[in-house]
Amino acid sequence: MDRECYLQQIEKVIEEGRYKADWASLATHPIPEWYRQKRLGIFLHWGPFSIPAYHDWYARNMYIQGTEEYEHHLSHWGKHTDFGYQNFIPMLKMENFQPKEWVELFRAAGADYIVPVAEHHDGFQMYESGLSHWNAAEMGPHRDVMGDLLAEAQRSGMTIGASSHRVEHWWFFGNGKQFESDIPKQVPRDHLYWPANPEPENQHDINGQPEPDDEFMTDWLLRCCEIVDRYQPRILYFDWWIQHQAVKPYLKKFAAYYFNRAEEWGGCVINYKHDAFPFGCAVPDIERGQFAEAKPFLWQSDTSVMRGSWCYSQLPERACYKEPVEIIWDLADVVAKNGRLLLNIGPKPDGTLAQRDVEILRTLGAWMQVNGEAIHGTGLWRYSQEGPTAIQEGQFADGVSRNFTSEDIRFTCKGDTVYAIVLVCPENGILRIRSMREADASHLPLFSGAVKDVTVLGCTTPVVWERDNNALTVNMGEYRSSLPVVVKIKVN
């Protein structure tokens, strides 16, 4: 690809387009109506890091002397001079990859959008690229795996997206220069490891040094625009570190190009972290975390089926799977607070999905088959939640399971229907919904509408219910569930 011609094309689109490369212009870009309907997406972390099956930062940590990953690499793969990270690429064959089967599973789980990792911090592109030979179409699988997956997802009706984690590549392999390894002291530009700069002392310092230079950031811009032009993703997810001040001029230019190009397709959305965008220009994302309360703006939570890794892992302490009920808890909590959940799985290097991943998605799908109307197409109710269990707000809060009770309830609504998602089914089958009690709303903004009918989704027999000034009490009879139960309440 002629880089200079491509840069000129990018500048031309921005010059002639509605959106310019400044925050004031970008802030006028609306969130498309179709995005407001999204509730559950599938995230995919895949790449050469799936071969050692450790975790997704193995590429960096294997070059840090003294770490567990460094010692693991020596004992399992040999000296870094003889077997470096690049040597995993031919082993990533994905020979059993069946994108149609994947998409069928994702759709059955209730997912309506998909965001595979296009390029992780390791710099290996999981798509066909004209900018680098280090991509899945030319190496490893010798197939445009991301392109094939997105095409199948689009055929199924899913909204397609992609994620870029490229910006951290500025320093991701820098530690490999501190000892004899396969990373050259002077890395040529066309190498996987380029530029392998020293790692900032504080990665969260938005002015940290050494900062990305124009050569690297121009390459970053071209790679991001290439993803947009090749695949027309409606959602573009950025991992962290794009909040660094040196990135901002290129980030504005990318957003302007993307917003203008997407005018042809019905709009687009960017997900970001850490105030990389001024508020209102894009959709904020919370990694492995949530908000404590409902928000008036759209947001996203991303989490993984594993607690200790985003990619396929066989390490016992990393491959610690969540229970399906925990995923459903997250989904209910996030949707009730005006968010959407991006759920990650890590495919195996042979192109199949781990059995536990499949089981979790199938359990989620079975629950959604019965209760999905409380998730899809719903909006905020006057309350988002009730119950004693507080949600820890912020990132990386999903390390331990929450101890929800039958008093913990999340609310959504649609038309004349309020859905009360009871996170733990009570042993005695008696549900008490205090937010739906008979209340005097003359001075406080309490719910005071009439309740016409009450049912429990999945319960095949009529339930008995009554309402007083303490609660709306629902007796489910013999019906019980090991997963959250949904009370469907018709109001007037």
pLDDT in tens, the chain (492 residues): 999 999 999 999 999 999 999 999 999 999 999 999 999 999 999 999 999 999 999 999 999 999 999 999 999 999 999 999 999 999 999 999 999 999 999 999 999 999 999 999 999 999 999 999 999 999 999 999 999 999 999 999 999 999 999 999 999 999 999 999 999 999 999 999 999 999 999 999 999 999 999 999 999 999 999 999 999 999 999 999 999 999 999 999 999 999 999 999 999 999 999 999 999 999 999 999 999 999 999 999 999 999 999 999 999 888 899 999 999 999 999 999 999 999 999 999 999 999 999 999 999 999 999 999 999 999 999 999 999 999 999 999 998 889 999 999 999 999 999 999 999 999 999 999 999 999 998 899 899 999 999 999 999 999 999 999 999 999 999 999 999 999 999 999
With respect to residue 377, please indicate whether it lies within any of the assigned structural domains.
no
Residue count (the chain): 492
259 and 396 fall within a common domain: no
Of 479, 370, 352, 374, which is closest to residue 425 (Cα–Cα)? Answer: 479
Residue 222: CB partners within 8 Å, gap ≥ 6? 1, 3, 6, 7, 10, 131
389 and 274 fall within a common domain: no
With respect to residue 341, please indicate whether it lies within any of the assigned structural domains.
no
DSSP 303: E
Confirm if 308 and 322 have CB atoms less than 8 A apart.
no
The token pair that represents 466 in the structure block: 């009554």
Neighbours of 84 (CB within 10 A): 22
406 and 265 fall within a common domain: no
Confirm if 271 and 238 have CB atoms less than 8 A apart.
yes
Of 319, 328, 269, 289, which is closest to residue 485 (Cα–Cα)? Answer: 328
With respect to residue 348, please indicate whether it lies within any of the assigned structural domains.
no
With respect to residue 310, please indicate whether it lies within any of the assigned structural domains.
no
281 and 392 fall within a common domain: no
With respect to residue 350, please indicate whether it lies within any of the assigned structural domains.
no
C-alpha separations of 344 from 45, 242, 361, 471 in Å:
7, 21, 11, 37
Of 183, 203, 201, which is closest to residue 192 (Cα–Cα)? Answer: 183
279 and 395 fall within a common domain: no
The last residue of one of the domains, among 287, 303, 328, is 287
Number of domains in the chain: 2
Of 468, 301, 321, which is closest to residue 396 (Cα–Cα)? Answer: 301
255 and 403 fall within a common domain: no
Q: Is 347 helix (H, G, I), strand (E, B) or coil?
A: coil
Q: Is 463 helix (H, G, I), strand (E, B) or coil?
A: coil
109 and 224 fall within a common domain: yes
**213: containing domain:** 3-287
Identify residue 95 by its one-letter amino acid code.
Answer: E
d(CA 405, CA 389): 8
Partner residues linked to 476 by β-bridges: none
**Residue found by looking up tokens 């109710």 in the block:** 381
d(CA 470, CA 433): 9
With respect to residue 255, please indicate whether it lies within any of the assigned structural domains.
yes
417 and 280 fall within a common domain: no
The token pair that represents 213 in the structure block: 């230079």
The last residue of one of the domains, among 224, 258, 287, is 287
Q: In what order do the strands lie in the sheet with 464-467?
A: 430-433, 472-475, 464-467
With respect to residue 471, please indicate whether it lies within any of the assigned structural domains.
yes
Q: What is the CATH number of the domain that holds 472?
A: 2.60.40.1180
Neighbours of 157 (CB within 10 A): 9
The last residue of one of the domains, among 287, 315, 340, is 287
With respect to residue 367, please indicate whether it lies within any of the assigned structural domains.
no
Q: What is the CATH number of the domain that holds 24?
A: 3.20.20.80
